[in-house]
């Protein structure tokens, strides 16, 4: 039943994926836009080109709807979501607003995507703090060492990690990490762009202080869209580092803007820097509605099914080494393979219209819920083919 629904949705929302021309398995780079998001861009974009066709209710309510869809996806209150243009915006927000200072340590691990490294390096340098990246164990983050460092070093004031690694596909146990941070009274920041949309996350259960997520990959949304979640207990305690002109409570009457009142919104809108691209956020709302309609348990199950298939393939074919953890709770949608001839294999995949990426010496396949086993097999069989 569930598979039927996915197949029907694939035909409606991704019609190009049904004719066998391409196998698009690169959602860890840029996700495609579903039909409903494309339609939103076309219709809203036309009106944007001739703004006299736009009504007031076409604008700010779009942002409210996008926040609500993102909140629903993550089990979070809408007031905890600030829309932002990319993941980096949220990383910078975290690095510049969360509490730590001179002599403190912000912990992370080696192997992080640069978007979650440079802002911390810069902010720690400014504050006289240390951004410490713990060595990997083999090619994966050493979660035990991270937990030990959290509990044993009183100088550690926060942890900043990517939930899912962009290259190995390793997924952190956020519940264990969150529990360790809370026990020590320190904060947890998560770059979630490679996980949200691929696997479940319920922020009502998992306590995260701040989470940044671009929507352009697994959330199948336009470039320049994303959001930052701020835990409700932190929203009013944090001073925005960048100040938007609509981050204040007195925002609604545009006829008189000059009675300045720098009182922040009570909710996470205080962290938004408006004007945002209403057209693209309208499309993001459409894309998120697709996840919310299907239900994340269903879409995540489809991603797991494909990953399990890849695991069995790797077991049967020792010439390809899957470096993504085998344990289901330790992976999401990113699958990384070491092959003997990296460039030759990538070329073969490209020639067969199999969209993939090469990252850190691996072939990265990133299938999403609407992909089929046939899409994945087309890629897997080329990993073992000989020139
Ligand atoms: C873990 C991770 N963080 C961040 C990004 C991108 O950041 P941004 O949305 O700011 O471009 C990527 C991928 O490009 C990523 O894999």
315 φ, ψ to 5°?
-60, -40
User: Which residues does residue 248 pair with via DSSP β-bridges, in sequence order?
Assistant: 264
Taking 90 as the threshold, does the pLDDT of residue 2 lie above it? no
Say what the pLDDT of residue 251 is.
59
Stretch 203-209: mean pLDDT: 98
Distance 169 CA to ligand 1 centre (A): 14
Domains of the chain: 2-30+295-384 (3.90.1150.10), 45-293 (3.40.640.10)
Distance, CA of 148 to CA of 145 (rounded, Å)? 5
Tokens 């709807």 belong to residue: 65
* Whether the CB of 88 sits within 6 Å of ligand 1: yes
Give the number of the atom of ligand 1 that is nearest the alpha carbon of residue 112. Answer: 1
* Whether the CB of 118 sits within 6 Å of ligand 1: no
Per-residue pLDDT tens digits for 331-361: 999 999 999 999 999 999 999 999 999 999 9
* Whether the CB of 190 sits within 6 Å of ligand 1: no
* Whether the CB of 225 sits within 6 Å of ligand 1: no
Distance 277 CA to ligand 1 centre (A): 19
Distance 37 CA to ligand 1 centre (A): 21
* Whether the CB of 116 sits within 6 Å of ligand 1: yes
Taking 60 as the threshold, does the pLDDT of residue 387 lie above it? no
Per-residue pLDDT tens digits for 305-341: 999 999 999 999 998 999 999 999 999 999 999 999 9
Say what the pLDDT of residue 63 is.
97
Distance, CA of 332 to CA of 300 (rounded, Å)? 8
Cβ atoms of 98 and 158 closer than 8 Å: yes
Distance, CA of 12 to CA of 34 (rounded, Å)? 8
DSSP 8-state secondary structure symbol assigned to residue 24: E
* Whether the CB of 87 sits within 6 Å of ligand 1: yes
Per-residue pLDDT tens digits for 9-53: 999 999 999 998 999 999 999 999 999 999 999 999 999 999 999
Per-residue pLDDT tens digits for 103-156: 999 999 999 999 999 999 999 999 999 999 999 999 999 999 999 999 999 999
Determine which residue's CA is closest to atom 16 belonging to ligand 1: 166
């Amino acid at each position: 039943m569930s598979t039927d629904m996915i197949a029907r949705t694939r035909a409606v929302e991704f019609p190009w994926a049904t004719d066998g021309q391409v196998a698009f398995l690169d959602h860890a780079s840029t996700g495609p836009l579903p039909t409903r998001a494309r339609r939103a861009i076309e219709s809203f974009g036309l009106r944007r080109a001739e703004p006299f066709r736009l009504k007031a209710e076409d604008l700010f309510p779009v942002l409210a709807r996008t926040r609500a869809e993102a909140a629903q996806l993550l089990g979070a209150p809408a007031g905890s979501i600030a829309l932002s243009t990319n993941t980096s915006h949220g990383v910078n927000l975290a690095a510049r607003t969360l509490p730590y200072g001179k002599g403190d340590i912000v912990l992370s691990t080696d192997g992080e995507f640069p978007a979650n490294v440079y802002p911390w390096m810069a902010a720690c340098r400014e504050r006289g703090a240390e951004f410490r990246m713990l060595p990997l164990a083999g090619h994966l983050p050493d979660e035990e060492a991270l937990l030990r460092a959290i509990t044993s070093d009183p100088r550690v004031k926060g942890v900043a990690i990517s939930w899912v690694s962009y290259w190995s596909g390793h997924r952190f146990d956020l519940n264990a990490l969150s529990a360790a941070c809370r026990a020590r009274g320190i904060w947890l920041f998560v770059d979630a762009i490679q996980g949200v949309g691929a696997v479940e996350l319920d922020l009502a259960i998992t306590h995260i202080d701040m989470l940044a997520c671009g929507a352009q990959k697994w959330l199948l949304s336009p470039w320049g869209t994303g959001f930052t979640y701020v835990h409700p207990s932190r929203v009013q305690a944090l001073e925005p580092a960048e100040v938007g002109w609509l981050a204040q409570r007195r925002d609604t009457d545009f006829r008189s803007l000059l009675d300045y009142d720098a009182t922040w919104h009570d909710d996470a809108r205080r962290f938004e820097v408006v004007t945002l691209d209403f057209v693209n956020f309208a499309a993001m709302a459409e894309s998120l509605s697709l996840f919310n309609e299907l239900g994340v348990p269903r879409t995540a199950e489809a991603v797991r099914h494909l990953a399990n298939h890849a695991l069995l393939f790797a077991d049967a074919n020792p010439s390809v080494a899957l470096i993504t953890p085998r344990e289901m709770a330790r992976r999401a949608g990113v699958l990384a393979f070491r092959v003997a001839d990296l460039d030759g294999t990538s070329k073969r995949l490209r020639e067969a219209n199999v969209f993939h990426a090469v990252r850190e010496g691996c072939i990265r396949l990133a299938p999403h819920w609407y992909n089929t086993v046939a899409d994945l097999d087309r890629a897997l069989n080329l990993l073992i083919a000989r020139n």
